[in-house]
Amino acid sequence: MGEFRRQLDEGYIGVVSDGPGQATQVRELPADAPTVILRRPIAGG
């Protein structure tokens, strides 16, 4: 949990799958999610 929080604090975005082509951003590590993906925001405006 601490590592997940550290990554979020460094600017990563956590997302969990909601099915094919769907994802939800998370700010806390969900206990029931099989996988949480950490990604960087896309640069640009």
pTM: 0.75
With 70 as the cut, is the pLDDT of residue 45 above it?
Answer: no
Residue pointed to by tokens 């996988």: 35
Rounded Cα distance between 21 and 38, Å, is 16
Q: Which residue has the higher pLDDT, 43 or 37?
A: 37
Please report which helix (H) or strand (E) contains residue 24, including its range. strand 22-26
The per-residue pLDDT for 25 is 96
- In this prediction, residue 12 has a pLDDT band, given cuts at 50, 70 and 90, of very high
Condensed to tens digits (0 to 9), the pLDDT of residues 22-37 reads 999 999 999 999 999 9
Spatial distance between the Cα atoms of 19 and 45, rounded to a whole number of angstroms: 28
